Amino acid sequence: MRTAPTILHLDMDAFYASVEQASKPSLRGKAVIVGGLGPRGVVATASYEARVFGVHSAMPMAQARRLAPNAAYLVPRFEVYRAISEQVMGLLRALSPLVEPLSLDEAFVDLEAEGAAWDAESARLTGTKLRSDIRAVTGLTGSVGLAASKMLAKIASEEAKPDGLLLIEPGTERALLGPKSVRILPGVGPATGDHLRRAGITTVEEIVEAGEDELVRLVGKAHGHGLYAMALAHDDRSVVAERDTKSVSVEDTYDVDIHDRVRVRTEVQRLADRCVRRLRGARLSGRTIVLKVRRYDFSTLTRSETLRGPTDDPAVVRETAARLLEAVDTTGGVRLLGVGVSGLADYTQEDLFAQAAGETHLDDEDTLEEPAREAAAPAERRWPAGHDVCHTEFGHGWVQGSGLGRVTVRFETPDSAPGRVRTFRTDDPALQPADPLPLIPAGPEQSEVTAVGRKASPGSQGTVAAKE
């Protein structure tokens, strides 16, 4: 392990919920829960105000509604979260070339790689400035942990939450870990924790006292050796720079099983178009098209086909996905569909058959879903809770809820006062979906900080395959 706390772990505070509170003044300081709102939905993120009621990530949404019936329940806006994540990751890459993202809102940074820090004091100053820059660029808060190892840096950031910084001085690790619950160690989940508790081991120090041989007997050879080393604060893992994207994929889970075969085919075509847009946004192409189908009984089928060369042609991806679907029995109903592309390359081998057939190619601005939307009856327009809209008279707002042919909208912007609520017909032509507004207006100071973050972010496409 290192002799200086130069590994930094950043964890954005209640990221999705914090983004929603920052963009919606009426929700600031209130319980906000983001996730799937259907009967099978789960909580993606809960604000700290919602956590007071016992709501937490991965909880079934039905249970969250029982615990916090008066909270604001919103559908995730992943495009917004990804855009803000890229701003944050850009700031991290400006500190060091060794940035290891774990998710949209979490990453390790090796501060020694480019001399950003070399001892405790310089590491603390770097962490403090990073938190300030994140707030200036995004308006959000993040917690920072600094330590001599990845495990301890992550533990430190968790201890610092929310909106804090904790530095663990080398040599103090054992004293810090000793009285903590065994659950603080990576890989110790509820099952392992209960197993250790039944053996009389509840704290990290009791793991050390039990000894390595006893740990191996209790939890197995591989897990036992690793668990004992972590209890001794031994962790020699290095920060691994962001790896190349291995695949690009999109998927949707449906509140009600889809039984209509025509609807299933339409959904697969729509997912294929979304996948191609993301593929092109990352300036990639791929050789293998993958179809994922989760059926009514939770069985999941994956089918794939490898092409002669890499492509980013939407017609090719749609046709291949449709062909894969023909080999899947969906008569019992479908609850999830996904389309992905793997075997990625940074160039495209043009599909001569598509060209000969006169297939059109998808430009970055094209939205192949639009014709289907235009063909649908206006009353079928969906208004997801929390998503942005614009009214010709009242301006920008967001959907509070919809149903029974009505949609309720609160008209406010990130830099306005809490706005008024109005209700419209779902087919009101004056109301349209809108692009999200920036959380922070681009003033001179913010632009300067953002430019610094962008300076070191040419490889930012690596987060493209982030799970939706």
User: Which residues fall in the annotated binding site for Mg(2+)?
Assistant: 11, 105
Q: What is the DSSP letter of 184?
A: G
- Cα torsion angle, 281, 283, 289, 290, sign: negative
Of the CA atoms within 13 Å of residue 458, those in its CB half-sphere come to 0
Instruction: Pick the closest to residue 424 from 405, 437, 448 (CA basis).
Output: 405
Output the known binding site: 11, 105
What is the DSSP code string of 24-72?
Answer: -GGGTTS-EEEE--STT-BEEEE-HHHHTTT--TT-BHHHHHHH-TTSE
Cα 80 to Cα 76: distance, rounded to the nearest angstrom? 9
Evaluate whether 89 touches 95 at the Cβ level (below 8 Å). Answer: no
Catalytic residue among 20, 106, 173, 267: 106
Q: In sequence order, which residues have a C-beta less than 8 Å from that of residue 7 and are 6 or more positions away? A: 108, 109, 110, 111, 146, 147, 148, 149, 150, 152, 153, 239
Omega before residue 162 within 30° of 0, cis = yes
Is there a catalytic annotation at residue 370?
no
Evaluate whether 244 touches 307 at the Cβ level (below 8 Å). Answer: no
Tokens 């920052």 found at: 22
Catalytic residues: 106
